[in-house]
């Protein structure tokens, strides 16, 4: 049954990622904004779920698998992020490449900080 929860969540996450990609497909920015938005949304869902459902996630393996492994797994795009960053660097767009790394990591960590709190 766990595989079904991951499968359903992953399908939803992947569909959301595809939709975000179509929204930003016409952008002329060198920065891969669709990937950044997908990763930020995935971090938002993950952090929000931990914040709101912390006890339920601990007690309900199905909810945790559906939200965190399924939806966030289908929505987050680390392989795409890595490929797009590599392409920027390969094309000598060093500022955009490094900017993509810093912006992605800082914004996604900031989302967790907002929902979960201080680093202790």
Chain segment 30-58, per-residue pLDDT in tens: 889 999 999 999 999 999 888 888 777 77
- d(C-alpha 81, C-alpha 32), whole Å: 8
Share of the chain above pLDDT 70, in %: 97
Domain boundaries, the chain: 2-24+31-116
26 φ, ψ (degrees, to nearest 5): -95, 0
Whether pTM > 0.85 for this model: the answer is: no
Does 119 score more than 80 pLDDT?
no
Task: Give the rounded distance of the alpha carbon of 88 from its chain centre.
Answer: 20
Task: Give the rounded distance of the alpha carbon of 96 from its chain centre.
Answer: 19
């Amino acid at each position: 049954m766990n595989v079904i929860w991951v499968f359903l969540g992953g399908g939803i996450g992947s569909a959301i990622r595809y939709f975000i990609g179509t929204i930003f497909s016409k952008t002329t920015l060198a920065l891969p904004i669709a990937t950044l938005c997908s990763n930020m949304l995935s971090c938002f869902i993950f952090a929000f779920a931990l914040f709101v459902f912390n006890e339920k996630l601990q007690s309900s393996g199905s909810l945790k698998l559906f939200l965190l492994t399924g939806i966030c797994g289908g929505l987050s795009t680390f392989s795409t992020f890595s490929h797009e960053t590599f392409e920027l660097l390969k094309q000598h767009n060093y500022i955009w490449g490094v900017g993509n790394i810093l912006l992605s990591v800082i914004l996604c960590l900031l989302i967790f900080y907002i929902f979960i709190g201080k680093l202790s």
